[in-house]
Amino acid sequence: MSTRVRIALAALALALLAGCSTTGTTGDPPAAAAFVAPLLDAELATRIQQLDPDRVSAADVSETLAHAPAAQIMLVHGAVPPAAETLRSFGAFLVAMGYPAERIRNPADGTYTYSAYLGSERLTGSIAWYYEHSPLRPMIVGHSLGGVQTVRVLHELAGEFDAAHEVWNPATGAPESRTTITDPVDGDERPVVGLKLAFASALASGGMARLFPQAWAMAGRLRDIPPSTEAFFGAYIGGDPFGGDFFGVGSTNAYAATAPGVVVETIGLPATYNHFTAPDTAALADDPAARAWIEGYDPANPPPTDDAFTNAHPNIVWAAQMWARIKRHWVLELKRWLATQGQ
């Protein structure tokens, strides 16, 4: 057994023990400000309507999307160190690529992630709170155990565990003693159960992550995606015992829709990816060659395989896949909102 595996297993054992307890908040977190949707001028609205969600350029981001609202993205990190650090790197990558930092930041601690230890009830209630405070539906991305919790949130929203869910304020870390929100688009009162997200994704979620108490209820549901999100993107790593079922080999790692109404995609990443550092992508945005490759990446027509380039830029394929999809749903959500406003 290699030294790296011994260290990882030791960390896993400690994390499993920690997983039997809950994570609380300390101090006085800042209060969350209610979102007030700005009125878009006609020129900006027209530019948004002209965008092709599958062909969003760097100029489109800086000249158009940067001046429009953005959906809240919840990044849920796993349990074993350095899970929080590496997923926060992905948050920094998104910001460097042009996504607004305030739409990723966790208001409770100022970082870019949420812990999987918070539990699905709190994560579900928090995403409902975000739903209420933006005209664009939220997105959620999880890594390792955080990916398991991400899929569970989708099942919670579909009503598969409880008939009702409390709204949680993510800044105070407290429930708000209500199970409904006011829809920011039409003003109607809506229950938390039944809300539909814009996009959800899970990276390297399965394998040993299934051993955590937080994952036990997902034993028969982890690869099933209900229509509580418009789209879901899953990625697993070949040869990964920590986040891949059967070491990341075979169809058991593929996600599937449980009903019409959700687009589900799964890709396998090469064994050169490391389970613990796969989301570590911030440096890619600072590399001109890597950034240009990512900005021009089309998941439907990926560039020819260039092992020398991708190996020199770790995690670039996953980063490119994710950025393309986040841009896509950013545009689609804006168009959806503008349509409700008659623009």
HEC secondary structure over 215-245? HHHHCCCCCEECCCECEEEEEEECCCCCCCC
Residue 24 domain flag: no
Q: What is the CATH number of the domain that holds 230?
A: 3.40.50.1820
> pLDDT tens for residues 41-63?
999 999 999 999 999 999 999 99
Torsion angle (degrees, nearest 10) of CA 89, 91, 93, 99: -170
Confidence of residue 8 (pLDDT cuts 50, 70, 90): very low
- Cα dist from 225 to 18, 80, 114, 155, 332, whole Å: 28, 25, 21, 8, 20
> pLDDT tens for residues 233-288?
999 999 888 888 766 777 889 999 999 999 999 999 999 999 999 999 999 999 99
Residue 150 domain flag: yes
Find out whether the peptide bond into 82 is cis, omega within 30 degrees of 0. yes
Q: What is the pLDDT of residue 247?
A: 63
Residue 248 domain flag: yes
Candidates 217, 101, 81; CA nearest to 144 is 81
Q: Which two tokens stand for residue 225?
A: 């995606």
Please determine, for residue 22, whether its predicted confidence score (pLDDT) is greater than 80: no
Residue 30 domain flag: no
Please determine, for residue 40, whether its predicted confidence score (pLDDT) is greater than 50: yes
- What's the chain's Rg over C-alpha atoms? 19
Residue 279 domain flag: yes
Structural domain that includes position 269: 37-340
Comparing 24-33, 242-251, 317-326, which segment has the lowest mean pLDDT? 24-33
Q: Is 331 helix (H, G, I), strand (E, B) or coil?
A: helix
**CA-CA distance, 192 to 228, in Å (whole number)?**
11
> pLDDT tens for residues 143-178?
999 999 999 999 999 999 999 999 999 999 999 999
Residue 288 domain flag: yes
Q: Helix 42-50 and helix 316-340: axis angle, to 10°?
A: 130
Residue 28 domain flag: no
Q: What total number of domains does the chain contain?
A: 1
Q: CA 227 from chain center: how many Å?
A: 16
**CA-CA distance, 164 to 159, in Å (whole number)?**
7
Which has more pLDDT, 158 or 208?
158
